[in-house]
Amino acid sequence: MKASIFVRLATSGALFALTTVGCSTVTPGQLSAASDAPRPAKNAAKAQARAEKALSKGHNDDAIGYAEAAVLTDPDNPQLRSLLGQAYLAAGRFDSAGDSFREAMTLGQSDPRSVIGLALTQTARGQVGAARQTLDQNRAVLPDADYGLALALAGDSKRAVEVLTTAIRTDASSAKTRQNLALAYALDGRWREARIMAAQDMSADQVEKRIASWAQMARPGAYQTRVAGLLGVAPVADTGRPIGLALDFSNQPQAEMVASVAIPRGDEPLPAVGPAPAQGGNQIFAAQESDVSVSPASSRAAPEPRQPVADRPVRTAAAAPVIKAPAAPAKAAPIAKPSPAPVKLAAASNKPGIAARSSAPQTGLRGSHLVQIGAFSSPANAAKAWEVYQRRYPALKGYSSASAKIAVGGKTLYRLAAMGFDDAASAQKFCTSLKSEGGRCIVRNMRGGGAVQYAAGTMTGRVLASR
C-alpha cells in the first residue's frame, strides 16, 4: 500500500475515515518523559514511535515488528496492544488484530479506535452478533458517524441508516458522515438514496465506481469483503502472533475474557495453554495422550527495537496460538499501575439451535459426547477459564464442566469441556454455534478414551481423578 489507511480522510475520492484510521502521535514532551523512565518503558516508547511512523507511511511489516517489540517490552500497556492491533489490521491480519484489540480492552482501553477496531475484526470473521454487541456496549464513546457505519458493516443497515440520518439532521454533517450514510443505504438495498447521497461529495463517474464497489460489499455474507474494501487492505492467511505476545492473566485478576486462538482444522486437538482468567466446578473426562499438542513457549527476552528489515519472518507457535498467557516467556517486568476496571466486551448471543438445559448442578458424567474448549496448565486455571467462557458464551451456562488430567511429553495438562450431549450430532451442533460466535472447540466421544476413574462433585484446585 502506498498510503496508510490510518491517515486517510473522507473526501470525494477517498475511503471513509473511521476513528480506527486516526493515527496517534508521540509528542516531543512524551519522548522527553520517556527518556527519564526505566529502560523497559524507554525501549517501549521508542518502538511505539517507530511503529506509528511506519504506519503513517504504509510500511505495515515494519510497523508490526516495532509494535510487537513494544508489547513484548511493556506487555501490560493497553495503548501498545491497541497500536499492535492497528498494525495487524493494516496488514489484513484480522485474527491477530482482533486478539490485540480485545486484550487492549481487557486491560482497560476503551477509546473509539480500539472499540471500532475490535468490531471490524469481529465483522470480518463473520462474528456479526458479537460485533454489534461490542458496538452497543461501548456506544457512549463512539461518534455517530463511526457507530453507524460499523453497524452497517455488521449487517444492521436499518439501524445504521437511522443513526446516520439523525446525525446529519441534528449537526452540521461532514462529507464523512454523508458518505457513511450513502454506504449504509447501499447495504440496506436502497440504491437510489445511496446514489443521491454519494453525489453530494463525488462527481458522477466517481459515484458509479463507488456504487459498483458497494454492490460487491452488499452481497449476503460478504463481511470480510466489506471490511477489507472499506480499509483498502488485502486479507491474508493469518498464522497468529508470536507466542510471547499473549496477555498473562495472572497479572490481570479483573480480566473479563480470554483471547481468541486460531480455529482448529477438522478434528485437530486444541492447543495446550497456560494460566487462564475466578474458579468454578469441574469434573473429569476421558482423554487420549496422542491427540493433544503442546506448543513450547518461547524463552526469548524482549528484543531491543531495531531498524526495520523488509519481509522479515515473524516467530509463531508451532501449533495454534495459546489462549491468553503462554508458559512464562521471559519478558521485562511491567510498570506498576492500578488494575484497570473491566471494559464491556461483546458477549456471544444464544443461538436458536442450542437447546436450553437445566442449570442445576449435575453429580455425574452425562451423555456420550463432550465439547472440548481448551487445555490448561493447572486445575485452577481450567476452573477459572470455565467461568470466563460462561460469561462470554451464555449457552454454556446450561451445561456442566468436565476436565481430564493428561501427560504429554513430560507436561501435565488439564482439558476443559462442556458435558451432557447425548450424541455426536447435538455436540457438533453446539460446537458449530460456538464457533460462529468466536469460540473454539472440538467434539469428543466420552466413551472412546482409556480407563479413567470418574469423580462426582466439583474441582477446587485439586485433581479428583487422573489417568
Q: Range of 329's domain?
A: 243-307+317-448
- For 149-217, the DSSP string reads HHHHHTT-HHHHHHHHHHHHHHS---HHHHHHHHHHHHHTT-HHHHHHHHTTTS-HHHHHHHHHHHHHH
CB-based burial label for 191 (10 Å; 0-12, 13-18, 19+):
middle
Q: Are 123 and 154 a contacting pair, CB within 8 Å?
A: yes
C-alpha cell belonging to residue 256: 473479563
* 456 found inside a domain: no
Element (H, E) at 256: none
DSSP state of 284: B
The domain boundary, picked from 202, 231, 260, lies at 231
288 and 410 belong to one structural domain: yes
Alpha-carbon distances of 182 from 6, 81, 176, rounded to whole Å = 22, 33, 10
Same domain? 130 vs 267: no
Same domain, 56 and 141: yes
Task: Examine the domain organization and report whether 54 and 167 are in the same domain.
Answer: yes
Same domain for 102 and 29?
yes
Question: Would residue 455 count as lying in a domain?
Answer: no
Report the candidate in 452, 451, 400, 446 with the shortest Cα–Cα distance to residue 423.
Answer: 446
Helices 128-137 and 144-153 cross at an angle (nearest 10°) of 160
Q: Are residues 91 and 206 in the same domain?
A: yes
Residues 303 and 423 in one domain: yes
Q: Are residues 176 and 32 in the same domain?
A: yes
Residue 219 shares a structural domain with residue 258: no
Could you read off the pLDDT tens digit of each residue along the chain, which spans 467 residues?
A: 333 333 332 322 333 344 333 333 333 333 334 344 456 678 889 999 999 999 999 999 999 999 999 999 998 899 999 999 999 999 999 999 999 999 999 888 889 999 999 999 999 999 999 999 999 999 999 999 999 999 999 999 999 999 999 999 887 678 899 999 999 999 999 999 999 999 999 999 999 999 999 998 999 889 999 999 989 999 998 888 887 788 764 444 333 333 333 333 334 444 443 344 433 333 333 333 333 333 333 334 444 444 444 444 444 444 444 444 344 444 444 444 444 444 444 444 444 333 334 333 333 556 788 888 877 777 887 888 888 778 777 777 778 888 888 765 566 777 788 888 888 888 888 888 877 776 678 887 776 443 333 232 343 333 333 33
Instruction: State how far the Cα of 88 lies from the Cα of 221, in Å rounded to an integer.
Output: 23
Residue 271, beta-bridge partner list: 293
C-alpha grid cell for residue 40?
523497559
Q: Is residue 293 part of a domain?
A: yes
- pTM over the 0.75 mark: no
- Is 345 among the domain residues? yes
Q: Which three cell numbers stand for residue 330?
A: 521471559
d(CA 395, CA 430): 9
Residues 145 and 100 in one domain: yes
Residues 175 and 247 both lie in one domain: no
Radius of gyration of the chain (CA): 23
Query: Which of 256, 297, 262, 295 lies closest to 277, judged by CA?
Result: 256
Please give the tally of structural domains in the chain: 2
Rounded Cα distance between 56 and 26, Å, is 12
